[in-house]
Homo-oligomer: A and B are copies of this chain.
């Protein structure tokens, strides 16, 4: 793979991603200053750091969705998680953003936990494992600050009665050839995963179906997930439901320097898991790939390169408490004033503090997480 090449699909992220080129390849729209200003107006306050720092950078139909909201048409948020193991910090990007939107706008959140899909996608996982991680992941997600009264969970294996009547209608509109082209499946792929995209589309339409009126949907997701929902958008009108709007984030690079913080290759050191004990977190961050130079002298002279640094990405996506702090870290990194060791130490203080408060919040969700799971169909057909 040449240095300028990259591959981004829902099942693979490879190479150094040129995000503007990727956006053009996918045919999505940029999050322009005008659109951010509109969002600022609608939320009536400061923007999320995930917006001000450019982590979210692309969208489909976000402007029309915001216009509708301003005119009294509320939307709902939809995001999901394939429970293959513990959550890691890169998963926080979409859920933190959803929490922010829910708190600012009071909108409903639908979370899909795809314990069926992950069993189909990963032959090394048992059903016991995907079901176990489904609940563990759910506690972590809810603990980020979702409103118990406005948050609803489709835990696939347990919510299937709620999803299936609509999935039947969705699945008839998706030919196998479209799934093959979208995901690049081989003929040896199991029929569970082939079917799965129907179930992943269902939450986009579920409130409209359940309530018999048009309820728009907004999906915050990594840009790699866009192909899933292009397919969903293509079938929406035929079903009589609005196309889901999307807002896309860049990927969080892995601690080992990969383009995305994935653990598919069993590289546990590539990610900070939310259940890593503090010494493990410390060790992983200390060993993390940075944009630093070969020697202290060289770094003081030339500065480091934040754009390729996995530690800078953690500051950027969550751990810089203000945009000022983030600007300062970036500036001092680039100038050579801040060396990697010290930068990591400052970051670790914040990560450890987050793990402590998150752990407490997580325990509290166990009292109400079950009540968020939707188990019954709102109507038979």
Interface residues of A (CB under 8 A from B): 116, 119-120, 123, 127-128, 131, 157-158, 160-161, 164-165, 168-169, 171-177, 179-180, 185, 187-192, 194-195, 197-198, 375, 380-381
Contacts and interface: CB of A to CB of B under 8 A. Distances in A.
A234 to B, nearest CB: 14
A190 B168 contact: no
Given A160-B160, A160-B161, A176-B185, A195 B171 contact: yes
A171 B120 contact: yes
Contacts of A119: 168-169, 172
Contacts of A158: 380
Contact of A157 (B165, B176, B189, B198): B165
Nearest to A132: B381
The 4 lowest CB-CB distance pairs between A and B, nearest first, are A171-B192, A195-B195, A177-B187, A161-B161
Contacts of A198: 191-192
Contacts of A116: 164, 168
A369 to B, nearest CB: 15
12 contacts: A120-B171, A120-B172, A123-B172, A127-B165, A131-B381, A157-B164, A158-B380, A174-B191, A176-B185, A176-B194, A180-B187, A192-B198
Q: Which of A116, A119, A185 neighbours the largest number of chain B CB atoms within 10 Å of its CB?
A: A116
A18 B168 CA distance: 38
Given A157-B380, A176-B176, A127 B191 contact: no
Nearest to A168: B116
Nearest to A187: B177
B175 A190 contact: yes
A191 B168 contact: no
A362 to B, nearest CB: 22
A222 to B, nearest CB: 24
A172 B190 contact: yes
Contacts of A375: 161
A127 B381 contact: yes
Contacts of A185: 176
A282 to B, nearest CB: 36
A192 B176 contact: no
Given A194-B194, A195-B194, A187 B160 contact: no
A191 B123 CA distance: 21
A193 to B, nearest CB: 8
Contacts of A160: 160-161, 164
Contacts of A180: 187
A160 B160 CA distance: 7
A275 B177 CA distance: 39
Contacts of A168: 116, 119-120, 127, 157, 192
Given A171-B120, A195-B171, A381-B131, A188 B176 contact: yes
A43 B116 CA distance: 43
Contacts of A157: 164-165, 168, 380-381
Contacts of A177: 187-188
Contacts of A172: 119-120, 123, 190, 192
Nearest to A159: B161
A198 to B, nearest CB: 6
Given A161-B375, A171-B195, 13 more contacts: A120-B168, A131-B380, A157-B164, A157-B380, A168-B192, A174-B191, A176-B190, A176-B194, A177-B187, A177-B188, A179-B191, A191-B194, A191-B198
Contacts of A175: 187-191
Contacts of A127: 165, 168-169, 381
